[in-house]
Structure 1
Amino acid sequence: MSDEANKIIADASSRMDKSLNDLGHQMAQIRSGRATPSLVEDIRVEIYGQNMPLNQVASINAPEPRLITVDVWDKSQLQAVEKAIQKSGKGFNPNTDGVMIRINLAEMTGETRKEMVKLAKGKVEDHKVAVRNIRRDANDALKKLKGGSVSEDMIKGFSDQVQKLTDDHIKKMDDLFAAKEKDIMTV
């Protein structure tokens, strides 16, 4: 029966890792003081009848701290990519010269920086809730094992392992937030 408990704990750990990885990906998409390709790579573009992420139809670079360049592989799709960037809701105003798209990023004001920190904090809180829900699911599954060859003390020990996993993942999320906040607020 302890094999069943170990499977429950391993599943919880795997799900918490996925939540942590997703948070890292979402944090990369939040604008800080400098340009990074991750700010635009997830923008969806309607090309060839399919909705594709920008990084699958173009090369994205950040050659300067406040400039992102998008080199679309199929130049006939330049207008579609430009429109997708404009409609992304990220506040970008792309310029094209017929060959490449350039996105100039405005200097971030103190107010904008505070908004970005607030956005990052919200994403961290959402992911913490997800980790806590995973903990709850794991503990519920462990409680169902009670009886037979699994004693209440064993269940308590397994629940403590799940709590340690939860604490570790939440600490890593807090660390991610602290690093992102520092990155955003650094002028």
Structure 2
Amino acid sequence: MALHAVSPAAVSSPLRALAHRLAQRPGCGCLPKQLVSIYSSANFAGLQAGPLVLRHSDKRAVLTHATIEEIEAEKSVIEEQAKEKMEKAIETVQTNFNTVRTGRANPAMLDRIEVEYYGTPVNLKSIAQISTPDATSLLIQPYDKSSLKLIEKTIVAANLGVTPSNDGEVIRVTVPPLTSDRRKELAKTVAKLAEDGKVAIRNIRRDAIKAYDKLQKEKKLSEDNVKDLSADLQKVTDGYMKKIESIQKQKEEELMKI
């Protein structure tokens, strides 16, 4: 791209002001007061890929901008980090959905149960083996039988709508059929968990936008760059929102099965 020497008066107001300030700096002989080297106005259309920055050497100031490769590199880092966090948000939503019981017995419904084992809260699965002998019951076999009563008490306190029974060897958990009212209550719980997941996705998007804004303030990206990258990020966000809606619908269908 060719460089043309023009007077500050021929440059747009912001650039003219910047060139003039640089030329007037005390003790700075790097810029002549009458001349500043910039790209010609005919080539300004090619600068849309990034922010405009005046870099001065001992003889001239050159107007530069972020290359397409540099912009893509910044986008890749920020967008990939956002995707990774959104994936984890989806996993959390799915895990929470698994703890909402349906009409069938599922060990996952006890995933969030924590037992105060010797004064330390531990996940039930870490101190007991859980199996499903049939479609309506769970069998809990603790590795330490002295924890049987504590496990039973914890399950009752969790208010899962199930009935644990301790025979001194194992705990059997009967999963009763869901009533119509109970299904509606659980559907509301699922909707709340889904909304929590969407809020997490929105917050991740917000943080990524802030990262783009920071690069703009540092003159590494232009305002147009940020708008384009934000639009691309919104498409990614919409995709993860649809994933949450999909698994929510699937869970609600499970709840409605009799």
TM-score relative to the length of structure 1: 0.93
In the TM superposition, what is the alpha-carbon distance from 1:171 to its structure 2 partner?
Answer: 0.5
Query: What residue is the counterpart of 2:80 in the other structure?
Result: 10
**Residue pairs, 1:144-155, within 5 angstroms:** 144-146=214-216, 148-155=219-226
Q: 1:75 aligned to 2:116?
A: no
Secondary structure (helix, strand or coil) at the match of 2:176 reads coil
Q: 2:129 aligns with which of 59, 67, 88?
A: 59
Contact residue 103 and residue 176 of structure 2 kept, 8 A: no
The answer for unaligned runs of 5 or more in structure 2 is 1-69
Aligned residues: 187
Contact residue 41 and residue 60 of structure 1 kept, 8 A: no
Query: What residue is the counterpart of 2:62 in the other structure?
Result: none
Q: 2:174 aligns with which of 104, 107, 112?
A: 104
Q: Deviations over 1:69-89 (max 9, x none)?
A: 101111122111111111223
What code does the residue aligned with 1:87 have? A
Contact residue 103 and residue 175 of structure 2 kept, 8 A: no
More helix by share: 1
1:44/1:149 CA distance change after superposition, 3 Å: closer
Q: 1:149 and 1:96 mapped to 2: Cα distance?
A: 65
**Residue pairs, 1:34-45, within 5 angstroms:** 34-45=104-115
The answer for unaligned runs of 5 or more in structure 1 is none
Q: 1:91 and 1:115 mapped to 2: Cα distance?
A: 12
Secondary structure (helix, strand or coil) at the match of 1:145 reads helix
Q: Deviations over 1:11-49 (max 9, x none)?
A: 211111111110000000011121100111321111133
Q: Which has the higher contact order (CA 8 A, sep 6+)?
A: 1
The structure number with the bigger radius of gyration is: 2
**Residue pairs, 1:112-123, within 5 angstroms:** 112-123=182-193
Q: 1:84 aligns with which of 154, 174, 182?
A: 154
In the TM superposition, what is the alpha-carbon distance from 1:166 to its structure 2 partner?
Answer: 0.5
Q: 1:143 aligns with which of 213, 217, 241?
A: 213
Q: 2:96 and 2:244 mapped to 1: Cα distance?
A: 12
Q: Which runs of 4+ in 1 moved over 3 A?
A: none
Query: What residue is the counterpart of 2:13 in the other structure?
Result: none
Q: 1:165 and 1:159 mapped to 2: Cα distance?
A: 10
